[in-house]
Chain A
């Protein structure tokens, strides 16, 4: 307790320190805000935005996303702004942060988070203007996500991966389209709600104009969604042409109706782009020319983009020199735009048009041209944009045709740049050589910054080149020898990942040494940079190793050391839940007292993980979220809380559509278990029927049926043992279940039908079993393809044997006898068949024949070493027959003799049977004697 006080003070100081930059920025902003507020009669700035929003926009524009987060937390605490509005700002902040990310995965994650947060925040809005604006931004975010997925799809190693991403992109666009259509409808209705005319001095005028503008923007967005979708289809495909044509028509109408508006001019620009992509170059060029000649400063952005699009049209019609000149002029005229998406596109075009002119160029011009194209492409590949993949392709082509560069001949800067370029081109081996050369060149650097930078990138290149031991050696070297340099923790993180991969790939030889190395580095990382995300990575890895080795206490300790403010906290809690759960199961096995407490701690950890993920705005579709939900559902089933488990599963079902087949299958299995545990067997069967009608695979269905069957069998066993009254009802469900399985697609296989038949025999439904076995006979045994396949030989025998058994138990002795005769012809020495022959003789009441049969069989089996369990069963049957003949004493003596002879060699189960039988005969003899005495 004494320690907590200074910690709290320190925490407060930290929070003040964090807010200091915000205060500074507030001061910077102050003037403009004061001016805005001073305007007579206005409480909000003229833009209609609140001062908080303006301030946040300032932070976003400067890239201060962390400060924006702090400011949002402060806003939330102060309660000055409604919670829904703060939620909206938070979603916007995440969206803005996403736009600045170079890492595609991170960008995608943030976009998904922002879309999810937006949906939550929009639900709290009631004011139309606020709602409209938010919905417009939300659609934009979804389109951006779809676009990002499309960009990713262009950079995939194989077509199947590309197609998966293209499908995802189209689904997102469809989502955006639906949201946008609904928005347009709502805006049109709002517009109609204004009683006309709304004159300039009408107080409703600003709202009216805003609604009109929002509607116009939404319509423009609708066309752009079609344009984006066109990009996801192959060139000249029917779909592509269809979407482009549709977008072009809509854009033309928008332009015609709103020529004087900025949105109208924008529509004109995109109409030309659609026409260009439809191959209508002259029309497109005409529009570009018209827009490029616009002198109005308000149209600067449109003019700039029109010139860019026009140079694409020049290229399309083969005017490469003109296109290159236009690109150069563009880059000279808009130096501040060089790194924007359009700027990168223009650089790509400049390079492309230079390359296209190379075949006709003089040798000296060729070299210069190649150099220039290479420089431009190098700039494009280093930054994320829609042009990156194309630039990478061109640069690779150029590199292949250019002479090889010897890394050692380059100076430090050139070697680093060449290394980066090779990394962008995914030429990991070459990147490694360049960075190694750069490290060599930086040896004189006293600060070691260049050396560590070069070595760090070399580590990454080695890792990407699947050289995990090498990457580990280098990353570990940096981490341990240069711990004060900024890249050291990153190097440690790569080394941890590398050793993890190395361990997984080479488990056959000395895996313990890899684990030791990994643990050492993780511990070092957590100790050296305790506050960093890399330390958390280390802690998670330590926990994973401990869990794998069954050291649950160590795993729990490591996972609990991941702080609540860590990015990995949710993951750590999910893993903590799993470890605690295993610990609790282990404790339950040994009937330890703390099993229940540990399992409830596990459940709490799962719930905490889900809560944190939800707060972070991680979408419900995220595989980690789904997995944790299922882990939680499993734990709830086992702790007799099936209703809660069902609720979790129902929530997960809503977001499992795009999940992996494995996760979907796990969800269905967990649901079946939950339904059984919740005593909703009929619902489970209905679900199975629904799964079948929805086109579920046969394998998946079979697995679900068998799981349900197994669960029912277990439950019946338990209820029977407890003499629970529910047994009858469960048995009925079980019988219904078996029928459903026979009728289902899953029941179309030999395995399923045979399983059902045997289950029916075990459940004393001999007649039903016989019916099922006859069905097997018709569908499989009599099918030549099936019966003649040597792999099915055992299956045929098993069906025939069970058919004989079911026939015997149903009293259809001739059928049983003929089946056994048929079997005996081909397999006269088949032991189970010989056993069944004995049972049949007994069932037919042929005691003396049965006695002879059993004694002969038992004597025959006695010659085997070791003796099979059937040997003892046969003797028991001999004893039965002796008993029937009134020779109980002989029967008992026979069995006692078998026990004496067998000694310790008798399997425990058979010994138990023999002893039980002797006791039974003794007691029945005693009863008979007592009865006789009484008479």
Chain B
């Protein structure tokens, strides 16, 4: 037996333990920002330090003696030091779709002792959005979720998450009939630095829904200068323009733009593709091509169902198209799916209506 080997192995083991301990303790004491990968890389750079400030446009992080500023467009992920265990647990539960359990965990995370301000802000934001998600299926939670989001916006008017919170809030209030509430949310959003373009795009979409397509187009033209080139926002503006064109019954132009957007987007860009396919479906339906339209809507139904509003819209259209295709059983099946997944969606009522070829 080689007795000399034991001490070497033991030393190596100790070194490993120390290294692991150091890494854990280091991680526990520093904030970590993961950047989006730049062209040619598969993972982005990681910046470790202490986050000193956050705004809707950027984050400041102190690395050693230097302060680094990172714009929110470059962010992939932020990991705060001192994040309570309950928060991680809540995120996990939310991911797995167990929203009620997630809300409980967020509540526990919010009451954890010694929360740093940015962590507290994040916990409240996540709680409010999870509550909004739960409100989609449980109408009794709707008012609570609106209140939670409003409180969040009020508490953090210049927070990094405020614009997103307002967008969620807009989604909740737009189904109601109180136009002043909608306007107020849009105004708040436009007042957040860097979010004027997004606010205008969302407003254009609402105008189109209200039958003011011309105004909507004008607004989108105005917003062009507020939108960075080749950004997600630019694609959102484009898909909104298509929707507006559909609302204006300019199907030829809308179909052309929709096909261009579909061709130019990466296949997993659900935010751009879901509305684009739905608009394409609308155009094809209007052109008397029910099967082509069905294929377009099915893209949203199968591939981009995580974009809830568009998914509901697609399900409603598919329900009606099954009726046109004389498949009432499939229509019923799809309507049931729509009603059970999005019970509060206005598309449920639309789907029950008389089909148009």
Contact = CB atoms under 8 A, between A and B. Distances in A.
A446 interface: yes
B65 interface: no
B303 A477 contact: yes
Given A408-B96, A469-B295, A509 B290 contact: yes
Given A408-B96, A409-B98, A481-B267, A513 B299 contact: no
B326 interface: yes
Contacts of A346: none
Contacts of B188: none
Nearest to B95: A408
Most chain B CB atoms below 10 A, which of A506, A508, A517: A506
Contacts, number: 50
Interface in A484-510: 506, 508-510
B325 A406 contact: no
Contact of A469 (B98, B294, B306, B324): B294
Interface residues of A, number: 22
A406 B97 contact: yes
A472 interface: yes
Contact of B302 (A474, A508, A509): A474
A642 B47 CA distance: 87
B60 to A, nearest CB: 28
Contacts of B299: 473, 477
Nearest to A514: B291
Given A506-B325, A509-B290, A513-B291, A473 B97 contact: no
26 contacts: A406-B96, A406-B97, A408-B96, A408-B97, A409-B97, A409-B98, A443-B268, A469-B295, A469-B298, A470-B301, A473-B299, A474-B302, A474-B303, A477-B267, A477-B299, A477-B303, A506-B325, A508-B326, A509-B291, A509-B324, A509-B325, A510-B289, A510-B290, A513-B289, A513-B291, A514-B291
Contacts of A514: 291
Interface string B30-47: 000000000000100000
Given A473-B302, A509-B290, 10 more contacts: A406-B97, A408-B96, A436-B302, A469-B295, A470-B298, A473-B295, A509-B324, A510-B291, A513-B289, A513-B292
Interface string A441-467: 001001000000000000000000000
Interface residues of B, number: 22
A643 interface: no
A477 B302 CA distance: 11
A545 to B, nearest CB: 16
Interface in B125-166: none
Interface in B283-297: 289-292, 294-295
Nearest to A511: B291
Contacts of A477: 267, 299, 303
Contacts of B96: 406, 408-410
A715 interface: no
Contact of A472 (B295, B306, B325): B295
Interface of B: 42, 96-98, 267-268, 289-292, 294-295, 298-299, 301-303, 306, 324-327
Contacts of B302: 436, 470, 473-474
Contacts of B298: 469-470, 473
A427 interface: no
Interface string A547-585: 000000000000000000000000000000000000000
B13 to A, nearest CB: 31
A509 B289 CA distance: 9
Contacts of A436: 302
A506 B302 CA distance: 21
A446 B289 CA distance: 37
B295 A517 contact: yes
A917 interface: no
Given A469-B298, A473-B302, A477-B267, A509 B326 contact: yes
B318 to A, nearest CB: 9
A513 B325 CA distance: 13
A517 to B, nearest CB: 7
Nearest to B296: A473
What are the nearest 8 A-B pairs in CB distance? A408-B97, A409-B96, A481-B267, A473-B298, A513-B291, A510-B291, A513-B292, A509-B325
A700 to B, nearest CB: 36
A191 interface: no
Nearest to A408: B97
A517 B294 CA distance: 13
Nearest to A411: B96
Nearest to A482: B267
A440 interface: yes
B86 to A, nearest CB: 19
Contacts of A508: 326
Nearest to A439: B303
Contacts of B306: 440
Interface in A729-782: none
Contacts of B98: 406, 409
A472 B42 CA distance: 32
Contacts of A513: 289, 291-292
